[in-house]
Amino acid sequence: LKICTPGSNTVQQLYSLIIRQRIAIMASPGTAPRRYIHLLDSVRPSLYIVDLSFESLNAQASFKGELKASLEVLKPSKQLELHAKDMEFGSASVALADGSAGPSFVKATLREETETVIFEFSDILTGSVVLTCTYTGKVQSAQRGLYHCTFECGIAGASTHFEPVYCRYAVPCIDEPKAKACFEVSIAAPRSLTVVSNMPETNAAPLAGGLTKHNFMATPRVSSYLLGFSLGDYSSIDMEEKDREIAPVPMKLYAQRGSEEMGRFALSIGVGSLAFFEKFFDQKFPLPKLDLVVPPFFPIGGMENWGIITLVNRSLIDDSASLQKRQGVAGLVAHEVSHMWFGDLVTPCWWEDLWLKEGFASWVNLLPLDELFPAWRVWDK
């Protein structure tokens, strides 16, 4: 900051300095310049229909997946390339815009250096196509992608953290923030588990082997890193009567069974913030529900998955919590709720512009808190 001259655009100077430093490192002697190849330049997605099946949610357990991806091939090629990590692929096929079968599938090749899978076909593809493939993935032990978490009762569960580039651990896709598409998700999981995702569940049906298949509404167009779902021994709480009167959409909070009542304060902040931001942005919240989910383990404070905000455990507090703790939880929840518009509805095209959404959310979260708790004098802190 000392480098930036007084009276100038400090943020722009600092940003330019970072970019210049990055270029200097990339072009320094003895190192080859690195350039990211955007898959979105070749293929544009519009819809992913994702069907996942989990018999076990232990760390490193395998799960089965089936993907049907509606794609627009912008550069004619015999190959389709999607992001994929820690997966194995089985069958694949492609259909053309008129519904007829496309060229024959040749092979799928994983490229570790680019974290992609290349589907090769017998002839040139161009225009609108629908790619269908089967694959297996792994429940991650590290807290990224679709990761394992153990509930207090000893039951294995799993939750997602896809920002910035971890959706590719669960779903083959164009895993770039600009590559917005609709996601229609189905999840088969052990019958005793609760399953929550971005959108409301349309129906659930029992399957053989003690599984239940949960089908969810399709999302609006959204970046892959904002897809989210969580499976576990959850119990939920609904809004209190006073919050139902102001809530724009139904809201719930999910937490480990026995801990859910400690989420009352966080849920109330979520409702108040959502109502405030609808007026502030003059834009209706575009989804039919918003849930707050508190998994047993979460790698950061919170994540603004559209329609399913995930929060760290310290968000659960009781009436004895100090003012400092209450303010911390309130700031975190308001921050994530603000992202429902600034970050989710409107999204930076690339990660070098991450500061736009995070910097704005770090400021704007104070606005609903000032309205809800004027005695806190948040602008004086």
- Taking 50 as the pLDDT cut, the residues of the chain under it are 1-8, 10-12, 14-29
How many Å apart are CA 179 and CA 42, to the nearest integer? 11
**The pLDDT value given to residue 33:** 53
Tens digit of each residue's pLDDT (9 = 90 or more) over 316-375: 999 999 999 999 999 999 999 999 999 999 999 999 999 999 999 999 999 999 999 999
CA-closest candidate to residue 273, choices 243, 228, 303: 243
Catalytic residue list: 336
Which residue, chain included where needed, has tokens 């072009």? Answer: 27
Closest CA to 85 of 149, 137, 143, 148: 137
- pLDDT at residue 97 in the model: 87
CA distance 129 to 318: 53
pLDDT at 34: 57
How many CA atoms lie less than 13 Å away from 274 in the CB half-sphere?
A: 31
Could you give the dihedral angle defined by the CA atoms of residues 24, 26, 31 and 36, in that order, rounded to the nearest 10 degrees? Answer: -170
Per-residue pLDDT, 153: 85
Q: What is the pLDDT of residue 11?
A: 45
Q: Report pLDDT for 30.
A: 52
Instruction: Report which of 76, 50, 68 is spatially closest to residue 160, judged by C-alpha positions.
Output: 50
129, β-bridge pairs? 71, 96
Q: How far apart are CA 313 and CA 316, in angstroms?
A: 6
